[in-house]
Structure 1
């Protein structure tokens, strides 16, 4: 009998699939189904052996690559299309692009709300990719109209502009559903309750960011070349085709995915807690948290798709919403969430309140990439010759940022994490908050590097000499390193610490910080220019940078990033992690 069991064990081991490089060893304690509430395509508890894990993530990462290539394929060279093909002025083109980019990030809130509340993440992603495909197809059509239709010039111009405007709107609307849902849906493929799968999920975030920047690199090199040399029809048509491939990939792998059920309107639940707590402003909260209202042991959470959350101290005002009064104990009010909420529902709001200060520090962090136009302007007054006959455009140095991300993101778990884990004593190297903090240090280094380069450049310009543009490489690379740490850290933080039924919404809040960072830079530059210019002064950022003080602006930003780092450290030290059952 013992020999038979050994043979059976060997046969079972031999039936395991070969593991690809991204895979890790399977958990020693194998369980048949996931324990985090995920279900398969039929709505049954998800099988660990046949669904999720890396087998499902390949198509998700591929879909993100397609979405990123569609966005950057349209946005990277959009100013050239609007000014050259549609003959718009520089001001009008810049205004349209700024509005479009802002819309892309703002629609993420809508996409996340629909995913968490009603549609679910997979359905939201598929529909959004279809919308993006339609939008880029309309852009392709608008670029092809002048060559295929011979009508009056005015009518052609109006048709082209109308199609491109509609195409840009649909693209922004679709991207709003992709950005907050893809990282969350990919993380859903790993079971939090399984130690081996949870470890693999931490690696997924790095590969997700690798896919995003892979799409950017392809779009900013190959697609830009196609658009400039082979026309806008091909330049927009390729992203449309790739986006359609992404839709097909998501539909083809539906049986492999693990799904989290949408939990209903998060906004309604938040309002219910606030209203219920306000109704009981004079009610005392019991010192024993077990007396607060919660679903009985053994029953699922009242929120669909969410695990129960344990009570935490702090923000006690909202605990009133779960406090059972004498009248509620003997009436139907116990089933009315506008008068009595569960502990899990109250903890959802507490979690969001605790996450908000951390997210707000992301506003200043995201000003770094918004400074790239100033980096490029700085490069325009430097010597851009590598050798006598070879020169590079100043904007080309942004490739250092992208290449740094593409190299470091997949190498993080193989090189960086083992080294850091020896220092911190943590198997994963750094927690989400520590990872964000490290990125903030590097983004400060970027501004210090830019300030030092500008200081030296101004001194050499006084002697009518040009400084080599390659001295700008470190400031771009520091931003790339900072993004690998902080952006991935924010993605991981938004997923791991958010309530189960609000994960897409928290991802959207993280994305919103990018928009707010850009707005902050715009406001700061206008204020600095109005304060420093005039009265015979050229200001810090004049048309001729040799007459300005761009170095002082970079030093100012370095100090601002330092203060932001200190504020983040304070918030991180006081942060209380969520406690899920």
Structure 2
């Protein structure tokens, strides 16, 4: 399976490999001064990283294979987990749904802890290494809990307390471990490209595209093959195969150890941000310097925070500039108190994080709307004809979600190999589109997906009314009419979600890149909670008069199209907010970039 991912990656990125070979030849001609990275990255032996021997695609093959196998393991385990809770642990539907939601939320909140540990203390490599091993242990325990009833019980219809405890112990061990992997894996892959090398920085943008592509291949295998095994073979094999995939992911990650570029952690970057807040509040009454060159900064080009580059001063959020205004009392004891006087770079790092928050907020709304793919799209499909040409083969409504995954797999090479070169000619931007432009296009595309879903529901309900099929399930309209809305969602993901990955990596301080990835992931968790809240509110409001409401148990009596119209309007409003905050946003600029 590892070889499958490696070969797929090599085939899809062959043109990128050719670019890398050309750069190698160029480096050899330029001589030793250009052989080593300029971003402070180190090899496994803590020596300056050699561009000819470390990083780039040769390192990313192992990282992306690990990420793909982790996604296969995660979705192979989680996609059918609700059914496992109901059938094997004998939980009520509401209890099973609540337990699954709580666990999923934990999986997407845990990256904040993983990022804190990685950025502040042990670095991305050891965070991924330790977390992936713990991940594999947790999945092994989950498989053992599913296998145990077959080995030790004759009556497997009732779950024991020990089986339930073992299952949830394993699941929350996986949740904690996945936080370390999710927070670091994409950022660590991007670390393999030197920001101070224009050629490598250009390749980094392609990395995010192919990284997301390979993750979706892992997800596709999980949602098709693994789910089929769980339904038709058994849960021991259904969990055992994802566990094997995760073990292979661990092997893949360690196999690339000698090719990786690593950055030293610089202690808790959050401490530096709090210092700016405290120092600026202490000096809230002083007059601001009109000349930014008079603000305090260390002399060399490095930041006071290990692992960060020095940043140029920006004029917005100027209140925090007071933290860098030097007063007579700042050096009273001979040394500078960092809680009273901060560097311009520290101030700019805080500004960079604050400027991310409006963009982050729009990501929550995007995720809440996109979350209907796994919710109301599936519910809509369950009231449509799932048979193929009157045969006995039935398509599970949830399986149509693979169309969205296939859409992503289709759109990634189209974007990277066709759209980017064309956009580059039109805009002159090295990446074709800026990160914000790319995300904005994705926001607008998502609107059309909700419109397509709403139009289909209007057509379906019109058919129900004309033929009096209110109590008929499924309605004889093919589920394949849902393909366009799933396909459009996949396109929106390639623009917005991949753009988010690159944006949050680039715009956070250098020492907080794992935190940037974790912050992006929280939009998924919060978007899921917001989606559930929205459904609850709509249900309460539309059933106040005793009617069936928009989303009744029998959709033939409902008005699901109105909910899709609401989501479309919400997406348009979110797009408007995004455009405003994108215009306000000022990108982080390092001194090296200015020079």
Aligning the two structures, in what range does the TM-score lie when normalised by the shorter sequence? over 0.9
Does residue 538 of structure 2 align to residue 540 of structure 1?
Answer: no
**Contact persistence 1:51–1:256 (CA under 8 A):** yes
Matched residue, 1:11: none
1-side partners of 2:587 and 2:386: how far apart?
A: 49
Give matches, 1:168-567, under 5 Å.
Answer: 168-297=171-300, 300-329=302-331, 331-334=333-336, 336-372=337-373, 373-389=375-391, 390-464=393-467, 466-567=476-577
For residues 289 and 549 of structure 1, do their structure 2 counterparts lie closer, same or farther at Cα, with a shift above 3 Å needed?
A: same
| CA deviation after TM superposition for structure 1 residue 423, in Å | 3.4
* Pairing partner for 2:66 from 33, 57, 63: 63
Does residue 112 of structure 2 align to residue 109 of structure 1?
Answer: yes
| Runs of 4+ with deviation above 6 angstroms | 151-156
**Contact persistence 1:368–1:479 (CA under 8 A):** no
1-side partners of 2:490 and 2:61: how far apart?
A: 24
For residues 153 and 488 of structure 1, do their structure 2 counterparts lie closer, same or farther at Cα, with a shift above 3 Å needed?
A: closer
Task: Judge which range, 301-310 or 322-331, deviates more.
Answer: 322-331
2-side partners of 1:564 and 1:22: how far apart?
A: 35
Does residue 569 of structure 2 align to residue 569 of structure 1?
Answer: no
* Pairing partner for 2:165 from 151, 162, 165: 162
2-side partners of 1:332 and 1:93: how far apart?
A: 62
Task: Judge which range, 26-35 or 108-117, deviates more.
Answer: 26-35
2-side partners of 1:185 and 1:141: how far apart?
A: 32
**Contact persistence 2:216–2:405 (CA under 8 A):** yes
The 3-state SS of whatever aligns with 1:283 is coil
| CA deviation after TM superposition for structure 1 residue 344, in Å | 1.0
Per-residue deviation, residues 27-66 of structure 1 (Å, max 9, x unmatched): 3465111011111112221111111011100000011011
Per-residue deviation, residues 347-398 of structure 1 (Å, max 9, x unmatched): 1100001111011100110013321221111112222333122542222211
**Contact persistence 1:116–1:503 (CA under 8 A):** yes
2-side partners of 1:284 and 1:562: how far apart?
A: 42
After TM superposition, the score normalised by the length of structure 1 is 0.93
Task: Judge which range, 63-72 or 323-332, deviates more.
Answer: 323-332
> Number of matched residues?
561
What are the ranges of 5 or more consecutive residues in structure 1 without an aligned counterpart?
1-18
Matched residue, 1:53: 56
1-side partners of 2:35 and 2:332: how far apart?
A: 42
RMSD value, Cα: 1.7
Per-residue deviation, residues 185-219 of structure 1 (Å, max 9, x unmatched): 00000011111111111110011101211111111
| CA deviation after TM superposition for structure 1 residue 157, in Å | 0.9
Task: Judge which range, 419-428 or 251-260, deviates more.
Answer: 419-428
Matched residue, 2:9: none
**Contact persistence 2:230–2:238 (CA under 8 A):** yes
1-side partners of 2:465 and 2:427: how far apart?
A: 48
| CA deviation after TM superposition for structure 1 residue 331, in Å | 4.1
The 3-state SS of whatever aligns with 1:417 is helix
* Pairing partner for 2:41 from 38, 55, 64: 38
1-side partners of 2:237 and 2:577: how far apart?
A: 48
| CA deviation after TM superposition for structure 1 residue 152, in Å | 9.2
2-side partners of 1:392 and 1:227: how far apart?
A: 16
Matched residue, 1:14: none
1-side partners of 2:220 and 2:339: how far apart?
A: 50
The 3-state SS of whatever aligns with 1:467 is strand
**Contact persistence 2:213–2:408 (CA under 8 A):** yes
Does residue 154 of structure 2 align to residue 144 of structure 1?
Answer: no
Matched residue, 2:81: 78
**Contact persistence 1:145–1:156 (CA under 8 A):** no
**Contact persistence 1:440–1:482 (CA under 8 A):** yes
Matched residue, 1:22: 16
**Contact persistence 1:33–1:47 (CA under 8 A):** yes
Per-residue deviation, residues 442-462 of structure 1 (Å, max 9, x unmatched): 111111111111111111110
1-side partners of 2:566 and 2:158: how far apart?
A: 50
| CA deviation after TM superposition for structure 1 residue 154, in Å | 11
**Contact persistence 1:333–1:339 (CA under 8 A):** no
The 3-state SS of whatever aligns with 1:387 is coil
2-side partners of 1:156 and 1:517: how far apart?
A: 33
* Pairing partner for 1:135 from 134, 138, 144: 138
1-side partners of 2:292 and 2:504: how far apart?
A: 27
After TM superposition, the score normalised by the length of structure 2 is 0.91
Matched residue, 1:119: 122
2-side partners of 1:152 and 1:455: how far apart?
A: 49
1-side partners of 2:83 and 2:253: how far apart?
A: 32
1-side partners of 2:390 and 2:237: how far apart?
A: 34
2-side partners of 1:324 and 1:226: how far apart?
A: 66
What are the ranges of 5 or more consecutive residues in structure 2 without an aligned counterpart?
1-12, 470-475
The 3-state SS of whatever aligns with 2:388 is strand
